[in-house]
Chain A
Amino acid sequence: MTLYTERQSGSRLRDFFESHAHVLSIAVFLIACCALFTSINDVFLSPGNLLNLLRQAAPTLIVAVAMTFVITTGGIDLSVGSIIALVNASAALLLRAGWDWPVVSVLMLMLGAVIGLFQGYFVAYQRIPAFIVTLAGLSAIRGIALVLTGGFSILIPPGLFLSIGRGTLFGIPSPALMGLAVALIGFIVLNFTVYGRHVCAVGANAEAARRVGIPARRVVASVYVWSGVAAALAALVVAARLGSGSSNAAVGTELDVIAAVVLGGTSLMGGRGTIVGTVMGALTISVISNGLILSKIDAFYTQIVTGAIILIAIWVNTRIFDQVGSVRRKS
């Protein structure tokens, strides 16, 4: 006799582990890094160092949240480091010329938005690969910053502006609060809004999104606006912390940011993004560079070690994910 039985649905706990494998593994990795550096030098866990670490991580974190949106649509924004440099330099020039800092801040955020819109237009409406458009931006935008400053560092006159980067609220550095606020907004928007759903849909299958009536091109263009605004905000934080503006600010930041996002488990193929992972990715990168300094490793080695750790972490992450998740992708 043949018995017809229904398949049992698996354990919920196991489902949870499988669908969050990426984020869980970066969390474990972050904790492991913290434990390792604490065992080498117990200054690492001191409140002073941790707050300093948060302050340093903030600009990367702010940009990485917006970059998560960009990468979730299947794009990339290589120009964020250059946008930081341009906004950083322009803000310093305007403040030195005696402009009010609130006006300057708003203008700078708008500058970031305009640059993002310009690049987003070419990516979304002219169908030029994001890699090319933003690579051009990476070169040209820093070039503008160099022209504006003549290559010199520009001192910002002391004032309330500097508290954006140096102030504290309830003992927590204001950049860290800003970073966490941006991350919280990003988390809510990506996971709980219609816009966030459309960002995922465009990244997973742009043609399908267009066919069901999602304004796919507008969504793609918009994420570059967010990354431009986020880069401008990060630039203000950097300028206020250092008290100067320079066209040489944030060289290579785009790589830290992209590493943070990918380390956190957002798929470079698009369609799957996680803000929680990005936060932990950004913290991991800061922990590594901070910990290596405390471990008294020669600064020249830091870059090599950081690069190696990122590759290993993502490799391990991919292996674990492939074994546990084995998510099929459409070719």
Chain B
Amino acid sequence: MRVRGIRKSFGSIEALRGVDLDLWPGECLGLVGDNAAGKSTFTKILAGTYLPDAGTIELDGKEIAYSGPAEARGYGVEMVYQDLSLCDTIDVAGNLYLGREISKGPFLDKAAMQRGAHEMLRKLEIRIPNTALKVAQLSGGQRQSIAIARSAAFDPNVLILDEPTSALAVAEVEAVLALINRLKAKGVAVVLITHRLQDLFRVCDRIAVMYEGTKVAERAIAETNLEDIVRLIVGEGHR
């Protein structure tokens, strides 16, 4: 995936001022930056939730322009949103299959979705006791796990994770990091946004740093260290 010159304004605020980025299959890119640096806006454009004001997105060398998140999903671009985007009043299985329900004609195949949900969670090593529970009854970490499972389970080409580990317990963070490594091995391009810099060094191959709506630096993981990244984030690196 190749992204060039993405711009996006909200009113008078220029959220993104021309961002370029390349993603390769089987690679994890860490995206870091201060608050309001434009990380979430940028990834939402990749996922089709926002439409860019300018710039191009290419997938496998072909330029694509999507009109909404459904189309991005069609190209295999999946995203875990910071707010998780779950429906509280629908059960776990229903949320996992939201937007691509298994159906017989117009009717939901609830049994198949429950079975599929069990299988999905088992493969990703996520422990949810009962997939018929409403999402509102689950803990923050469990909800986050479900949002991750939903995006990872349907063989994406590009997976964007916006703060996926913020509410997770130690074991669950480990599971997510292991999941990222497994997806990489399958050839998925992963974008990881996180404030836990130590995680970046465990799964990422490259780190891109954003500052005030621009990409200020890109470092291969082998040629950088924690202090360097921190310096780049707060903006001392290029002063």
**Residue-wise interface mask of A (256-290) relative to B, using a CB-CB cutoff of 8 A (1 in contact, 0 not):** 00000000000100011000000000000000000
**Residue-wise interface mask of B (60-96) relative to A, using a CB-CB cutoff of 8 A (1 in contact, 0 not):** 0000000011100100000101001111111000100
Segment at the A interface, from B22-30, B103-111, B163-171, B181-189: B103-111
A78 CB-CB contact with B under 8 Å:
no
**Complex contact A327–B137 (CB within 8 A):** yes
Given contacts A192-B107, A193-B107, contact A210 B101 (CB under 8 A): no
Given contacts A9-B130, A194-B108, A212-B98, contact A200 B85 (CB under 8 A): no
For A330, what are the chain B residues with a Cβ–Cβ distance below 8 Å?
88, 136
B49 CB-CB contact with A under 8 Å:
yes
For A205, what are the chain B residues with a Cβ–Cβ distance below 8 Å?
85-88
CB distance from A205 to the nearest CB of B (A): 5
B11 CB-CB contact with A under 8 Å:
no
The A-B contact count (CB < 8 A) is 89
Output the nearest chain B residue to A18 by Cβ-Cβ distance.
B137
For B98, what are the chain A residues with a Cβ–Cβ distance below 8 Å?
201, 208-209, 212, 214
B101-136 residues at the A interface, CB under 8 angstroms: 101, 103, 106-108, 110, 129-130, 134, 136
Query: Whole-angstrom distance between the alpha carbons of A330 and B86 in the complex?
Result: 10
CB distance from A109 to the nearest CB of B (A): 21
CB distance from B175 to the nearest CB of A (A): 18
A14 CB-CB contact with B under 8 Å:
no
For B130, what are the chain A residues with a Cβ–Cβ distance below 8 Å?
9
**Complex contact B94–A271 (CB within 8 A):** no
A42 CB-CB contact with B under 8 Å:
no
A213 CB-CB contact with B under 8 Å:
yes
Query: Whole-angstrom distance between the alpha carbons of A203 and B90 in the complex?
Result: 11
A319 CB-CB contact with B under 8 Å:
no
**Complex contact B68–A210 (CB within 8 A):** yes
Output the nearest chain B residue to A202 by Cβ-Cβ distance.
B87
Query: Whole-angstrom distance between the alpha carbons of A51 and B110 in the complex?
Result: 37
Query: Whole-angstrom distance between the alpha carbons of A271 and B134 in the complex?
Result: 12
A211 CB-CB contact with B under 8 Å:
yes
Given contacts A193-B106, A214-B98, contact A328 B69 (CB under 8 A): no
CB distance from B203 to the nearest CB of A (A): 25
**Complex contact A213–B90 (CB within 8 A):** no
Output the nearest chain B residue to A327 by Cβ-Cβ distance.
B136
For A200, what are the chain B residues with a Cβ–Cβ distance below 8 Å?
87, 89-90
| Interface of chain B: mostly helix, strand, loop or mixed | loop
**Complex contact A211–B85 (CB within 8 A):** yes
Given contacts A9-B130, A211-B69, A328-B136, contact A197 B89 (CB under 8 A): no
CB distance from A150 to the nearest CB of B (A): 45
A315 CB-CB contact with B under 8 Å:
no
Query: Whole-angstrom distance between the alpha carbons of A126 and B130 in the complex?
Result: 40
For B73, what are the chain A residues with a Cβ–Cβ distance below 8 Å?
212-213
**Residue-wise interface mask of A (166-205) relative to B, using a CB-CB cutoff of 8 A (1 in contact, 0 not):** 0000000000000000000000000011111100110111
**Complex contact A212–B90 (CB within 8 A):** no
Residue among A7, A213, A215, A329 with the highest chain B CB neighbour number at 10 A: A213
For B70, what are the chain A residues with a Cβ–Cβ distance below 8 Å?
212-215
**Complex contact B87–A213 (CB within 8 A):** no
Q: Which of A9, A201, A327 contacts B134 (CB 8 A)?
A: A327
Query: Whole-angstrom distance between the alpha carbons of A211 and B84 in the complex?
Result: 11
Query: Whole-angstrom distance between the alpha carbons of A193 and B90 in the complex?
Result: 14
A100 CB-CB contact with B under 8 Å:
no
A322 CB-CB contact with B under 8 Å:
no
A204-254 residues at the B interface, CB under 8 angstroms: 204-205, 207-215
CB distance from A69 to the nearest CB of B (A): 14
Query: Whole-angstrom distance between the alpha carbons of A200 and B49 in the complex?
Result: 21
Q: Which of A9, A197, A215 contacts B90 (CB 8 A)?
A: A197
CB distance from A204 to the nearest CB of B (A): 4
CB distance from B147 to the nearest CB of A (A): 9
Q: Which of B81, B101, B103, B106 contacts A211 (CB 8 A)?
A: B81
Output the nearest chain B residue to A213 by Cβ-Cβ distance.
B70
CB distance from A262 to the nearest CB of B (A): 16
For A211, what are the chain B residues with a Cβ–Cβ distance below 8 Å?
47, 49, 69, 79, 81, 85
**Residue-wise interface mask of B (172-212) relative to A, using a CB-CB cutoff of 8 A (1 in contact, 0 not):** 00000000000000000000000000000000000000000
- Other A-B contacts than A197-B108, A201-B98, A205-B85, 12 sampled, CB-CB below 8 A, are A193-B107, A194-B107, A197-B94, A200-B89, A204-B89, A205-B86, A208-B85, A208-B87, A212-B70, A212-B85, A327-B134, A327-B136
Which B residues are within 8 Å of any A CB, using their own CB? 47, 49, 68-70, 73, 79, 81, 84-90, 94, 98-101, 103, 106-108, 110, 129-130, 134, 136-137, 150
A-B contact pairs, 25 of them (CB 8 A): A7-B129, A192-B107, A193-B106, A194-B101, A196-B108, A197-B94, A197-B108, A200-B90, A204-B87, A205-B85, A208-B85, A208-B86, A208-B87, A209-B87, A209-B99, A211-B69, A212-B69, A212-B85, A212-B99, A213-B69, A213-B70, A271-B89, A327-B136, A327-B137, A328-B88
Which A residues are within 8 Å of any B CB, using their own CB? 7, 9, 19, 192-197, 200-201, 203-205, 207-215, 267, 271-272, 327-330
4 tightest A-B CB contacts, nearest first: A213-B70, A212-B99, A208-B85, A204-B87
